[in-house]
Chains A and B, each alone.
Chain A
Amino acid sequence: MKADIAVVGSGLAALVATRTLQQAGRNALLIWPGLSSLYFTYATVDVLGYSDLTTTQPVDQPEAGVAKLIEDHPEHPYALAGLDALRSGTALLTEWLRDAGFTWQGSLARNLLLPTAIGTPKPSCLVPASMAAGDLRRTEPIVFCGFHGYEDFVPELAAANLSRSWGGDDQSVRAIRVSLPGFEPGRLFTSIDIARSFEDVAFRREVAGRIRREAAVDGVRIGMPAVLGLTHDMEVYSSFAAEVGHPVFEIPTLPPSVLGLRLFDRLRKHIQESGVEMVWAAPAHAAELSDGQCRRILLKSAGREQPIDARAYVLALEDTVDGALRAGVHEVIDPFFHQALAHHAVPTDRTDESLFKPQPFASVGYRVSNRLQPIGDDGRPLAGNVFVAGGAIAGYDPVGSKSRGGLAIATGYRAAREAMAA
């Protein structure tokens, strides 16, 4: 199949790249290898939460923070993508969220500081409006509300942790639990099941009443796990908050994150309905090169291989889960050019025993040029018309610095612009 520009991936980098092409009037083909694991960890779009891994001081102004990081680390993926790509990409995403029917808040100028499910403060840049009332720079006391039988969110733990770092006064953070009609103890359920139930008017009216009674006092805000509706971000939230009678904010839960589900479902739906074709269920697995250009990539379609013959390619895969990297016992190779991206004497060299340290495997990936082209050992592009975005770029380790969203936006946007020019 012929295409103008093919984008491979399913995460935020792939979506931003595709939208960038679409807005520029180019014909993008989105090749979707299945849901990337990131789908479940996304809730907010974080640009830069911590300037380095040693500090506990959150970044207040993400744009200024990224500018400084670029200055200090010219090899960092942010530096390769450039500050302009972050700015333009963020503007594009913000507008897209609005067009797709989302209500989000935030800007590159200032981070919000929001409590996590374990009650730690976390800096975030763009967030669903349903989370915004959790901002820890506001002063109203917080009541964390959990559900009996649902242990992915433990309100007592969140309250205990938060009262240590915020407010200090025991009155300002509290934990309550209510039971959910139909969710008896002993029944197995996930945040998705609860979110589906919240779409039912009678169910949420009942739960709102129970929370109102438990919370008892006036002037508090209620923090609850993000389960307020599966598909719409505001419909359920607005009517529910009105019935609770207090400001309510959602807190991202352990994966699967309903917030991630809403975000990715809706963006994917919107981009398809606005005319971008998606190829589902066909993992891409090889690139054919000649004269320094990629001539086609091969997809594993039903029955046979399907060649995609595009003018340029954006490879926006994220990790080993969505097929960006293939990890063997000693080598990690990439699926397109089959080059070794990392060697390890023993596989355990890829991991650090401490969960809280940066993991070596996280930064394995394509080495890229300053135009985001994958480069070989000689430093020259493997193909002039291929550009890499997202987690598969070497040195891309967004976890500790809380920069996953911003890196996806900046590299996705930049790779798309480069692909247009190729």
Chain B
Amino acid sequence: MITDEIGTLSDTVEEAAPVEACTKCTACNTVCPVARSTDIFRGPKFLGPESERYRSQAEAAVTAGLDLCSGCKLCEVTCPSQVTIQEYIRRAQNKGAEERGRTLRDWVLGHTRLLSRFGSMTAPLANFGNRNPLVRLAMEKVIGIHRKRPLPRYQWLTFERWFKRNRSLPLVGRAREGVSRRTVAYFYGCWVNYNERRLGEMVVHILERNGIDVIVPKQQCCGIPAVVNSNIDLARKYGAENVRRLSGLPANVDIIASSTSCGLMLKHDYSHLLEIPGAEPVGARTYDICEYLWMLYEAGELDIAFQPVETRLLYHAPCHLKSHGMGYPATRLLRLIPGVHLDEVDEGCCGISGTFGVKVEKYDLSMKIGSRLFEAVKAAGTDSVLADCETCRLQVEHGTGAKSAHPVEIVARAYGYR
């Protein structure tokens, strides 16, 4: 980019560029999975920096099609000038929702944690309902959740309770002085807590196997469901609560997330989109689980006495993982395990983008965006499709019938975890 202040530019972390930095190169439009799948979407260049010039604090200037941006951020990872395209779109979507009034669905999908808590408390009933065609028809009519979209199963025993039961030491300060090398705080997120406790158990097992003490601080939803359902204020409230709790951790405690988008919220969006005071130091010590394990490996601290795992796997990199700017640590990690045959697929966005593909009017678009990936997965015919993000896994399973897993599941197996 061109600027007067070259001196100050070079040493800041993640500088955000102003709208003027947009050179109108259209790189963002060419990669946008929504623009590539429907012609009613005007694309990130127009809806982001170009429209931003005409948006005022007072008025939303909601442009047609704004709602169709799924929030995948592929435009941002592609923009050579670091324009925060998606943040502009997000803020405008939020403003639009404020003006027109939020729908019941915005509320429901934004409050995933509340919903999941309820779902988990009533697990058998909720799971039955989520699979009952009549209930689903009603949900489609009343809330606007597409009836064909499989909803995740809830589990009655949450990860939080499992951890309390199985790790008797007090939550903070378990670090065995002199014995363990590190202590990490696990940000498990709503998914692990209410839907896939086993993934959390595996994360704890892997870390402990490496002599790391795991603590589980009290936490709130990371806020991304609220962000993507146009409720930035709610997301900020959740985020501020997390920042407050996580900031209180001793300085030598690293924070781990096993969910791609939760991790990205902590690392980046809290301090950028949500502008939460004090978020930067929290983001600076937050790591994706695979990123962290790879760091241990490079430091010579990872236990690599892996049992062979004979399996053929296909790795799909979630869009938000690309935004982390850390490469694909899961692939490096899995290649350390004997017997693992890992292929990679680069077909871009899977189409679900969190709660985007759940919505009645976006379901078909979401499946169309994912179609290239689905074809590639079917053609590859591997044992399982790996993705770090849970909604990618749901989408791939739904679109292909293939099995899917988080990469740490393979690491856990290589450690003999059953």
Q: Tell me the A184-208 residues at the B interface (CB within 8 Å).
A: 188-190, 192-193, 196-197
Cβ distance B343 to chain A, nearest Cβ, rounded Å: 7
Contacts of B323 in A (CB 8 A): 280-281, 302
Cβ distance A76 to chain B, nearest Cβ, rounded Å: 27
A126 to B283, CA, bound (A): 47
Contacts of A306 in B (CB 8 A): 325-326
Indicate if the CB atoms of A273 and B345 lie closer than 8 Å.
yes
Cβ distance A257 to chain B, nearest Cβ, rounded Å: 10
Q: Which of A10, A255, A286, A303 contacts B25 (CB 8 A)?
A: A255
Indicate if the CB atoms of B23 and A279 lie closer than 8 Å.
no
Contact with A along B18-62 (1 / 0, CB 8 A): 000001011101110001100100100000000000000000000
Indicate if the CB atoms of A303 and B268 lie closer than 8 Å.
yes
Cβ distance B404 to chain A, nearest Cβ, rounded Å: 18
A348 in contact (CB, < 8 A): no
Contact with A along B201-230 (1 / 0, CB 8 A): 000000000000000000000000000000
B10 in contact (CB, < 8 A): yes
A351 in contact (CB, < 8 A): no
Contacts of A299 in B (CB 8 A): 325
Cβ distance A365 to chain B, nearest Cβ, rounded Å: 16
B294 in contact (CB, < 8 A): yes
Indicate if the CB atoms of A326 and B10 lie closer than 8 Å.
yes
Indicate if the CB atoms of A333 and B331 lie closer than 8 Å.
no
User: What is the interface size of chain B, counting residues whose CB is below 8 A from a CB of the partner?
Assistant: 54
* Nearest-CB residue, chain B, relative to A189: B39
Contact with B along A254-291 (1 / 0, CB 8 A): 01100001000000110011010111111101100000
Q: Which of A35, A268, A283, A333 contacts B346 (CB 8 A)?
A: A268
* Nearest-CB residue, chain B, relative to A281: B77
Indicate if the CB atoms of A282 and B10 lie closer than 8 Å.
no
Binds A, one of B78-86, B143-151, B189-197: B78-86
Contacts of B322 in A (CB 8 A): 280-281
Tell me whether A34 and B345 are in contact in the complex, defined as CB-CB below 8 angstroms, given that A189-B39, A230-B36, A299-B325 are known contacts.
no
Indicate if the CB atoms of A1 and B325 lie closer than 8 Å.
no
* Nearest-CB residue, chain B, relative to A183: B39
A369 to B76, CA, bound (A): 35
A300 to B323, CA, bound (A): 11
Indicate if the CB atoms of A193 and B13 lie closer than 8 Å.
no
Tell me whether A35 and B27 are in contact in the complex, defined as CB-CB below 8 angstroms, given that A29-B327, A326-B9, A329-B4 are known contacts.
yes
Contacts of B328 in A (CB 8 A): 277-278
A10 to B2, CA, bound (A): 19
Contacts of A326 in B (CB 8 A): 1-3, 6, 9-10
* Nearest-CB residue, chain A, relative to B75: A34
Contacts of B77 in A (CB 8 A): 34, 280-281
Tell me whether A301 and B298 are in contact in the complex, defined as CB-CB below 8 angstroms, given that A34-B77, A196-B36 are known contacts.
no
Contacts of A335 in B (CB 8 A): 10
A321 to B28, CA, bound (A): 14
B14 in contact (CB, < 8 A): yes
Tell me whether A273 and B82 are in contact in the complex, defined as CB-CB below 8 angstroms, given that A280-B77, A282-B326, A302-B14 are known contacts.
no
Contacts of B4 in A (CB 8 A): 328-329
Q: Which of B6, B82, B283 contacts A304 (CB 8 A)?
A: B283
A39 in contact (CB, < 8 A): yes
* Nearest-CB residue, chain B, relative to A272: B346
Q: Tell me the B287-311 residues at the A interface (CB within 8 Å).
A: 294, 298
A2 in contact (CB, < 8 A): yes
Cβ distance B118 to chain A, nearest Cβ, rounded Å: 32
A67 to B81, CA, bound (A): 37
Cβ distance B345 to chain A, nearest Cβ, rounded Å: 7
A331 to B7, CA, bound (A): 11
B267 in contact (CB, < 8 A): yes
B284 in contact (CB, < 8 A): yes
A37 in contact (CB, < 8 A): yes
Indicate if the CB atoms of B326 and A301 lie closer than 8 Å.
yes
Q: Which of B2, B79, B82, B283 contacts A320 (CB 8 A)?
A: B2
A36 in contact (CB, < 8 A): yes
Indicate if the CB atoms of A39 and B286 lie closer than 8 Å.
no
Q: Which of A196, A279, A322, A331 contacts B326 (CB 8 A)?
A: A279
Q: Which of A1, A230, A272, A321 contacts B344 (CB 8 A)?
A: A272
Contact with B along A32-52 (1 / 0, CB 8 A): 011111011000000000000
Contacts of A192 in B (CB 8 A): 29-30, 35-36
Having A277-B331, A320-B1, A321-B81, one finds 13 other A-B pairs with CB under 8 Å, namely A29-B327, A35-B31, A35-B78, A35-B80, A37-B80, A39-B27, A39-B30, A272-B344, A279-B327, A302-B14, A302-B325, A326-B3, A326-B6
- A–B complex contacts, Cβ < 8 Å, 9 sampled: A29-B327, A34-B81, A35-B27, A35-B30, A278-B328, A299-B325, A301-B325, A302-B264, A306-B326
Residue ranges of A at the interface with B (Cβ–Cβ < 8 Å): 1-2, 10, 29, 33-37, 39-40, 182, 188-190, 192-193, 196-197, 230-231, 255-256, 261, 268-269, 272-273, 275, 277-283, 285-286, 299-306, 320-323, 326-329, 331, 333, 335, 338
